[in-house]
Amino acid sequence: MALLDSNGTQVFSGQVFNGRKTVTETVTPLAAGDYRMICAVHPDMTGTLTAS
């Protein structure tokens, strides 16, 4: 999973793994706003993260 800011700049890139797994990632504090979540493997796997 990667996070992109509103300019499309990648601000975080997490690890890629096979199958189901619970992973804890450490993300540098983000400025308030919405970030697009994308999966490098599955283009249809997306989401939004809101930092406040």
Toward Cu ion, which CB reaches closer, 27 or 41?
41
Helices within 1-52 (DSSP H only): none
In the window 3-42, what residues touch Cu ion (CB under 5 A)?
A: 39, 41-42
**Cα-Cα-Cα-Cα dihedral sign, residues 17, 42, 39, 41:** positive
Toward Cu ion, which CB reaches closer, 25 or 33?
25
Q: What is the total count of residues that contact Cu ion (CB under 5 A)?
A: 4
Tell me which residues touch Cu ion (CB under 5 A).
39, 41-42, 45
